[in-house]
Amino acid sequence: MTVRTRADLADLPGYVPGRTIPGAIKLASNEMSPGPLPSVVKAIAEAASRINRYPDSGAGELVSRLSGRLDVPESRLAIGCGSVTVCQQLVQATSGAGDQVLFGWRSFEAYPILVQVAGAAQVRVPLTAGHGLDLDAMLAAITPATRLVFVCTPNNPTGTALRRAELERFIDAVPDDVVVVIDEAYREFVDDPEVPDGIELAKEYWARGRDNVAVLRTFSKAYGLAGLRVGYCVASEAVTEAVRKVYVPFGVNALAQVAALASLDAEDELLVRCAETVAERGRVRDTLLDQGYEVPPTQANFVWLPLGEETDAFNEHCLAQKIVVRAFSGAGARVTIGLPEENDAFLAAAAGFAAT
């Protein structure tokens, strides 16, 4: 007898994380190379003696802290095991068989996986020639079956970000029964004043009676907690209530909650690190441009090299130099901004490839 599983999962692509190779410089997963702050590590260590107890399933203290910091009611917040899990919950809460979820492509690699697992149909809209989201084409792709639209800004893996006027024009044109999710995993690295804060923008729409705008944030990137997994959604009460209904109990572990709270306590220090990353981002991009690479403007903690068919060769060249980047075969390579010495090693490898 053969065990029966879902036939549609046979062609489901697996999520491909950035590789970790002992002794190599890892610039593949958009992590913060400096690591968590000592105060955060101390808080985690002190909380470790209490891990025999279940965590607060609703992360009440963290919700309360974020509510005050973001100036939104607690009822408009939902916490999850990393923003990718909140993405999953949003899809599950809005979409099923016969429904559609729309997003630009290439964008966050988990979107198509989460949509297919939920049994909904995915609609991928190609990026513009400038490697940004094609909002006009995305609007044209919305149908009566569309339930949710992911707007990843800055976009992963290209780093391009949407400015206020174009994002507002898009939201204004989306039917008000379709949830627009502004995925802002890299918000803390944005230095373009024309790129809006998604949460503040969402508040403006809520005040006008448009409750279909939701925002995702994470502690994995700027806060350096990728290994503990904490993310959150800010949305209307109708959306957050539905998201919480599909929540896996105790999904955010106790140490993750403590670390997130400690990180908020040290936010000013962490944001200094973000500013340092942004400065390095500019140096890395300028150097790559001087080497002859095409590098789209980026507002994230990585750069995108649209290498096309040269991607695999570039990836192998970097691996030979013990540098791990995130290669998307046939499309390009995403390279995390690391410590200055890590970036120098990558730039030397990139120069060597450009010279071949």
* pLDDT tens profile 242-293: 999 999 899 999 999 999 999 999 989 998 999 999 999 999 999 999 999 9
| Residue among 228, 147, 230, 152 nearest 184 (CA) | 152
Same topology between domain 7-36+268-354 and domain 38-265: no
Confidence of residue 36 (pLDDT cuts 50, 70, 90): confident
Strands 146-152 vs 179-183: parallel, antiparallel or unpaired:
parallel
Peptide bond into 112 cis (omega under 30): no
Residue 213 bridge partners (DSSP) = 180
Q: Alpha helices, DSSP H only, in the chain?
A: 38-47, 60-70, 83-94, 110-117, 135-141, 164-173, 198-207, 237-245, 254-265, 267-290, 311-320, 340-354
Q: What pTM, to 2 d.p., does this model score?
A: 0.95
Rounded Cα–Cα distance for residues 341 and 6 (Å): 47
Please state, in angstroms and rounded to a whole number, the distance separating the CA atoms of residues 75 and 235.
9
Q: What is the pLDDT of residue 112?
A: 97
Domain ranges of the chain: 7-36+268-354, 38-265
Cis geometry, peptide bond prior to residue 106 (ω within 30 degrees of 0)? yes
Q: Report the alpha-carbon distance of residue 258 to residue 174 in Å, rounded.
A: 38
Q: What percent of the chain is predicted at pLDDT more than 70?
A: 99
Determine the average pLDDT of the residues in 341-352. 98
Q: Are 58 and 354 in contact (CB under 8 A)?
A: no
Q: Look at the chain and count its residues.
A: 356
235-256 residue pLDDT tens: 999 999 999 999 989 999 999 9
| Whole-angstrom Cα Rg for the chain | 20
CA angle 80–82–88, rounded 5-degree value: 70
Quote the tokens at residue 34.
Answer: 């400096």
Measured in degrees and rounded to the nearest 5, phi and psi for residue 329 equal -50, 130
Tell me whether strands 100-105 and 121-126 are parallel, antiparallel or unpaired: parallel
pLDDT > 90: percent of the chain: 90
Strand ranges across the sheet with 121-126: 77-80, 231-234, 213-218, 179-183, 146-152, 100-105, 121-126
Query: What are 272's two structure tokens?
Result: 């200094």
Six-digit token string for 290? 């001087």
Q: 161 near 192, Cβ under 8 Å? A: yes
Residue found under tokens 């198509």: 112
* CA pair distance 102, 223, nearest whole angstrom: 29
DSSP-derived secondary structure letter, 25: E
Q: Residue 1 pLDDT > 70, yes or no?
A: no
Sorted by sequence, the CB contacts under 8 Å of residue 76 that are 6+ apart come out as 234, 235, 236, 237, 240
CATH of domain 38-265: 3.40.640.10
Structure tokens at 209: 């009676």
End-to-end CA distance of the chain: 56
**Sign (positive/negative) of CA torsion 30, 188, 166, 95?**
positive
pLDDT value of residue 356: 85
What average pLDDT is seen over the chain? 95
**What pLDDT band is residue 21 in, cutting at 50, 70 and 90?**
confident
> How do residues 109-157 score in pLDDT, each as one tens digit?
999 999 999 999 999 999 999 999 999 999 999 999 999 999 999 999 9
We find that the CATH architecture of domain 7-36+268-354 is Alpha-Beta Complex (3.90)
Exposed (0-12), middle (13-18) or buried (19+): which is 69, by Cβ within 10 Å?
exposed
pLDDT for 232 beyond 60: yes
Mean pLDDT value across residues 1-10: 78
Is 79's pLDDT higher than 90? yes
Distance of CA 251 to the CA centre of its chain: 19
